Amino acid sequence: MRAMGTGSSVPRKAEAELDSGTAGAIHKHDHEPANATLARMFVERRRRRPLEHAWHEALDSVHQLLTRYEETNHRLAEAEEIYRSLFEGALVGIFRVSADGRPLMVNEFMAKLVGYDDPEQMLAGVRHFGEHVFTDHSEWRDLMLRLQKNGVQYGFEAEMKAADGATKWVLLNIRSIQDGSRIVYYEGTAEDITDRKLAEDRIRLIAYYDSVTGLPNRRLFEERLAESITFAQSKNQRVALLVLELGRFKMINDTFGKVFGDRLLQEIAQRIRTALGEGITIARLGGAEFAIILEDVKALREVQLLAQQMLAVIGAEFSFLGHSFNVSCTMGISMFPEHGRDSHILLERADAAMCSAKDQTANDVQFYSEGIDTQIRVRLRLENGLRLALERNELFLVYQPQVDTRTGGISGLEALLRWQHPEMGLIPPNDFIAVAESSGLIVPIGEWVLRTACMQGRAWQDAGLPAIPIAVNVSAIQLRQQGFCELIRSVLRETGLDPKYLELELTEGLLMTNVDVVFTVIQELRELGVKLTIDDFGTGYSSLNYLRQFKVNRLKIDRSFVREVPKNADDAAITTAIINMAKALNLDVLAEGVENVEQLDFLRAQNCFEIQGYYFSKPMAVDQIAKKLRGSFAS
């Protein structure tokens, strides 16, 4: 039976129950008419409906809750997965450490950074994070103090010793987690900055250290000097600044090459370091210049002794790469506070003192004094003037005859350089050759002398004057220039002078350094056919053995020996010995600086017949020489 026309919305299930009479608690009362039953059922249903509704709503809520719970769970799982992945896969080390330094939690990166395969290994292997990780334990303590104060520390750089022994640099960002004032644990990140640190070290090395010797360079030296001065000022102490330069280094470098030069610098740095020990700043300022800072100087004597020690150490024989040789050095010293209160001034003044030492004898030490400033100014003026002297035609040559006393005739001429300075007047070579040498100007000037002398020799011959050799003084720097022999060859070719009329005067000292190279050059010059003389003989240190090897043509006895013969017995003995030695070696011998007849007679008695000196003639201008030559050969 179907409920018709009621328009009611009885649920189908309820209807079916009603149809089948199975509607649970709704029972038909026997005495009731069917419609009454139905009506009652409707009433009943209406009474039950809110309950059903509530039930459904509750179910819905539970369902929704469950769904939300599931979603939350899902999201939590997702979040956990994200955090786990972030933690485990992070490309920085992440750690949590207990208040007493025990690692509680580390990620893979951290474990690897500390030299373990995985976090478990690290947690088992490391008992104290700080003591294990920091090479310098005090750094960890320092870090802890900062954390206690600030709670967080960014960018803390520390050197770490990994479990596998490797040294690494790490950058830590770390914070303390506190419960009130009590630190519960520390946590943070660690980055491997080893590569960056190495790069920084390399940069620092390049910027502050000399690549050849490993010593501090000028930049670092100036910083250290400034620090020493500040410190000395606060303690009322004195500081000495020593600047030293090797003699002839450029020449050695040019002759033997850079590898050899570098090796020499290294050996010298090593010698100074060994002599002075640790704790004293030694620097290479550039080229062949070194500097030393001596702190807390009590007495000048102390500095003098050290300077002498340095000269001895550097002056001792070097023997490497198949060569044995000696180098000289000059040293300038300035003192704080006497000579300046600022590092630049002290350096300038030590340099000035060194230049002054250079102008005097080699192997010398010079303290700064005010007089040196004047010397330096003069020197600078000379150097600047000399740069212009060639182009302004201020240089000229004079010629001094050499006489054969057996015939009385002129056997040769020595070309001697003069400089007519526009304001300073006539300047003798002894006053400017050293400046020309140290500034390198000797190279173009020497070439000019050579060309002018050869041209003049040829011109005299062309003018019908007798052909005699012209001697030209050659500086060590010229001789060691590459292509020196080639220069001689081309000058002879250009001027048309026969090589046998060119004589080169080389000083003894020049021959004794870099013997091998000099030997080769001399050989080549001999093959060219030019004459070679050792000038100022007796003042250097040549050994007989070398003299034999060099195969020069003659020796010129230095003026200093000739000056006091025959009165001075020692000089007489030396002069005689040189003459005899020359004869024994089959060399010609000439005495220079002969001023009087006593000297002449003595020399003749010793069988030295060639002389040069005021006794016969002073150096003369070109036209006077022409007259003299005519006269000499006319008589």
Per CB under 5 A, residues contacting Mg ion are 473, 505, 535-536
Contact flag: residue 475 with ligand C2E (CB under 6 A): yes
Query: Contact region for ligand C2E (CB under 6 A) — 111-119, 457-465, 515-523, 589-597?
Result: 589-597
Contact flag: residue 611 with ligand C2E (CB under 6 A): no
CA distance readout (Å), 276 to 176, 229, 539 = 49, 20, 33
Query: Contact region for ligand C2E (CB under 6 A) — 230-238, 401-409, 600-608, 612-620?
Result: 612-620
DSSP 8-class letter at 265: H
Kindly state the smallest distance separating residue 558's Cβ from ligand C2E, in Å. Answer: 7
**For residues 295 and 535, which CB has a smaller minimum distance to ligand C2E in the complex?**
535
User: CA nearest 159: which of 194, 204, 119?
Assistant: 194
Contact flag: residue 593 with ligand C2E (CB under 6 A): yes
DSSP SS3 for 402: strand
Contact flag: residue 405 with ligand C2E (CB under 6 A): no
Size of the site for ligand C2E (CB under 6 A): 23
Give the residue, chosen from 125, 337, 409, 429, that forms a contact with ligand C2E under the rule CB under 6 A. 429
Q: How many alpha carbons lie under 13 Å from residue 103 in its C-beta half-sphere?
A: 26
User: CA nearest 511: which of 498, 530, 525?
Assistant: 525
The H-assigned helical ranges of 297-441 are: 300-315, 343-359, 370-389, 429-439
Kindly state the smallest distance separating residue 570's Cβ from ligand C2E, in Å. Answer: 20
Which tokens belong to 132? Answer: 């294990």
Residue 449 binding target from Mg ion, ligand C2E, none, CB below 5 to 8 Å by type: ligand C2E
Kindly state the smallest distance separating residue 417's Cβ from ligand C2E, in Å. Answer: 4
Which long-range contacts link 118-121 to residues 24+ away (Cβ below 8 Å)? none
Query: Contact region for ligand C2E (CB under 6 A) — 11-19, 95-103, 366-374, 587-595?
Result: 587-595
Give the residue, chosen from 614, 627, 631, 633, that forms a contact with ligand C2E under the rule CB under 6 A. 614
Instruction: Fill in the amino acid letter for 260.
Output: F
Query: Contact region for ligand C2E (CB under 6 A) — 8-16, 65-73, 372-380, 608-616?
Result: 608-616
Give the residue, chosen from 192, 245, 503, 535, that forms a contact with ligand C2E under the rule CB under 6 A. 535
**For residues 365 and 497, which CB has a smaller minimum distance to ligand C2E in the complex?**
497
Which tokens belong to 173? Answer: 């960002």
Give the residue, chosen from 307, 449, 470, 534, that forms a contact with ligand C2E under the rule CB under 6 A. 449
Q: How many alpha carbons lie under 13 Å from residue 370 in its C-beta half-sphere?
A: 1
Residue 417 binding target from Mg ion, ligand C2E, none, CB below 5 to 8 Å by type: ligand C2E
Contact flag: residue 590 with ligand C2E (CB under 6 A): no
CA distance readout (Å), 155 to 169, 193, 446 = 12, 11, 64
Binding string to ligand C2E for residues 489 to 518, with x set by CB under 6 A, is what? ----------------x-------------
Residue 513 binding target from ligand C2E, Mg ion, none, CB below 5 to 8 Å by type: none
Q: Which residue in the block uniquely carries the two structure tokens 């050969």?
A: 633
Give the residue, chosen from 536, 538, 557, 611, that forms a contact with ligand C2E under the rule CB under 6 A. 536
Give the residue, chosen from 225, 416, 470, 557, that forms a contact with ligand C2E under the rule CB under 6 A. 416
Evaluated on CA atoms 422, 426, 431, 433, the torsion sign reads positive
* 532 contact partners, CB below 8 Å, separation of at least 6: 503, 504, 506, 522, 525, 526, 550, 552, 553
Cβ pair 155, 178 in contact under 8 A? no
Kindly state the smallest distance separating residue 578's Cβ from ligand C2E, in Å. Answer: 15
Residue 376 binding target from Mg ion, ligand C2E, none, CB below 5 to 8 Å by type: none
Contact flag: residue 617 with ligand C2E (CB under 6 A): no
Which tokens belong to 81? Answer: 């997965």
* 173 contact partners, CB below 8 Å, separation of at least 6: 152, 153, 154, 155, 156, 188, 189
Kindly state the smallest distance separating residue 595's Cβ from Mg ion, in Å. Answer: 14
Contact flag: residue 214 with ligand C2E (CB under 6 A): no
Give kind and range of the element (H or E) at residue 336: strand 329-336
Contact flag: residue 247 with ligand C2E (CB under 6 A): no
Give the residue, chosen from 510, 619, 629, 632, that forms a contact with ligand C2E under the rule CB under 6 A. 619
CA distance readout (Å), 425 to 347, 390, 415 = 33, 16, 20
Cβ pair 499, 528 in contact under 8 A? yes
Residues that bind ligand C2E in the complex, under the rule CB under 6 A: 400, 416-417, 428-430, 433, 446, 449, 473, 475, 505, 535-536, 559, 592-595, 612-614, 619
